[in-house]
Amino acid sequence: NAGVMQNPRHLVRRRGQEARLRCSPMKGHSHVYWYRQLPEEGLKFMVYLQKENIIDESGMPKERFSAEFPKEGPSILRIQQVVRGDSAAYFCASSKSSYGISGNTIYFGEGSWLTVV
Amino acid sequence: DQQVKQNSPSLSVQEGRISILNCDYTNSMFDYFLWYKKYPAEGPTFLISISSIKDKNEDGRFTVFLNKSAKHLSLHIVPSQPGDSAVYFCAASIQGAQKLVFGQGTRLTINP
């Protein structure tokens, strides 16, 4: 769990500002996933990326949200013009395998808590 | 469209007794199920999983049961310990897919 690094852990933004959340996967992992947890809800899949490619963005809101995972550096989840409803915990996970998911192959980071005021 | 449901938001159990957490799903395509434990301000930690070809998987104090006909799974913790107090999430996936569908979570409190 500690191997997936997310920063910042806490971020406060005013409405209309941009939020950037970073995720460094575990060493040797080239697959990154972003999940969002709204208050009192479960985690919801947002996007799955491999290096330089977005594989599945079916859970991403159509506007204001984007994600990237460049060849070098961390994966970034970018939220433009934040609104109060974006306040949530954003979790990154990483895996080594490209085939399916198992409990022993996907690892979550400790999350980034975004508060929009 | 909540495909994975945990209908009990909270559960309180005495230390040493059995904790039973329940989860229902609607998508018959799900063939792999996981339980995660989550402490406040931390990420989910994997506990135990089960494939749809099995109906039971056991790991120490944790056992997961799967009833495919009822589309229901449960997590048994015995004996329950104070350190088990956390939020437990049930999750499901389809083999070959790269995403998990989570339930809403159940907050388990173990009382001394």
Whether residue A28 has pLDDT greater than 90 = no
Tracing tokens 């974006």 back to the chain, one arrives at A86
User: What distance in Å separates residue A115's CA from the closest CA in chain B?
Assistant: 14
More confident residue, B96 or B91: B91
- CB-CB contact of A117 with A13 (8 Å): yes
Q: How far apart are the first and last CA of chain A?
A: 30
Higher-confidence position of A41 and B9 = B9
| Substitution target from A1, A43, A54, A97 for chain B, most B beta carbons within 10 A | A43
Mean pLDDT of A29-53: 93
More confident residue, A98 or A30: A30
pLDDT at A97 over 80: no
- Closest by Cβ to B98, choosing from A55, A107, A108: A55
- What pLDDT shows up at residue B25? 97
- pLDDT value of position A96: 84
Q: Is B75 on the interface with A (CB under 8 A)?
A: no
More confident residue, B95 or A61: A61
Q: Do A101 and B101 touch (CB under 8 A)?
A: no
- Say if strands A19-24 and A75-79 run parallel, antiparallel, or are unpaired: antiparallel
Burial of B16 (0-12, 13-18, 19+ CB in 10 A): exposed
Give pLDDT, residue A1.
44
Residue A85 has phi, psi (to 5 degrees) of -65, -10
Average pLDDT of chain A? Answer: 92
Is residue A16 pLDDT above 70, yes or no? yes
pLDDT at A104: 67
Closest approach of B27 to chain A, Cα-based (Å): 16
pLDDT band with cut points at 50, 70 and 90 for residue A103: low
